[in-house]
Amino acid sequence: MARLDVETYHIPVMLRECISHLAMVPHGVYVDGTLGGGGHTAAMLSVAAEDARIYAFDADEKAIEHCQSRFAEELSRGDASRLVLVHANFDTMADVLKERVISCGQAVNGILLDLGVSSFQFDHHHRGFSFRHMAPLDMRFMPEGETAADILNTRTEPELAQIFRDFGDEPQAWRLAKAIGQRRQLARFATTADLRDLVIQQIPPQHQPKTMARLFQSLRIAVNRELDRLESTLLSMIPILAPHGRVVVMSYHSGEDRVVKNVFRSHGDTLTTITKKAIEASPEEVYENPRARSARLRVAERRP
Q: What is the pLDDT of residue 120?
A: 54
Q: What is the pLDDT of residue 123?
A: 53
Q: What is the pLDDT of residue 201?
A: 95
pLDDT tens readout for residues 6-26: 333 467 899 999 999 999 998
Cβ–Cβ < 8 Å for 39, 116: no
Q: What is the pLDDT of residue 143?
A: 78
pLDDT at 87 over 70: yes
Cα 96 from Cα 234, distance rounded (Å): 14
Cα 282 from Cα 4, distance rounded (Å): 15
pTM: 0.86
CATH numbers and ranges of domains, the chain:
15-120+227-302 (3.40.50.150), 125-224 (1.10.150.170)
Q: Return the DSSP state at 134.
A: -
Cβ–Cβ < 8 Å for 36, 67: no
